[in-house]
Chain A
């Protein structure tokens, strides 16, 4: 089976940096993904780490350490529009596993003035 843990809620100030952690336990690991979901909206894909290290996309960065079964999403220069839920997900086997993802329960990020 697979399980993921992430904080349920994080609060930060506009302009600050926030890190959302994700630890996982899986029977087989292929990669760690991050998704953003605003209230009432659909999840949108942010990043995917298939290998250890840091991936940067604009104000967002994602990190993976496979030896520690751990990853994080880093959001810089926080804006009010970043207030949303953030989900980590593991999976992504294209070789026969159906490319399935298992999602965490999400972290509600609140950005305050």
Chain B
């Protein structure tokens, strides 16, 4: 089992560019999440999904879109990147109430 994987691991964008972050899990989990983590802060929820074909907004959804076309994949899109979106992005999945399996993260810099 690979668990939760994320691609890419690192990315540098210019302001206004777009990109898609891919998250994949092989544990057959229903729930999937995208978080961002900024220095000295906890994880903030961007969007989440409770099953294939569903998505919902989290705490900080502005500037991001998501899709869950297949149960194992959860995509996060940045439509027009801004420097404020420089962060580390973590994907996670679970079936249990308090636990999460996190991916290794994507370090994104927007210039």
Contact = CB atoms under 8 A, between A and B. Distances in A.
Interface in B10-61: 31, 33, 40-45, 48, 50, 56, 58-59
A104 B41 CA distance: 8
Interface in A69-107: 87, 89, 91-94, 98-106
Nearest to B90: A42
Interface residues of A, number: 29
Contacts of A33: 98-100
Nearest to B43: A103
A61 B101 CA distance: 20
B98 A42 contact: no
A103 B60 CA distance: 13
Contacts of A30: 97
Given A42-B105, A43-B90, A105-B40, A100 B100 contact: no
A45 B97 contact: no
A66 B96 CA distance: 20
Interface of A: 30-33, 35, 41-45, 47-50, 87, 89, 91-94, 98-106
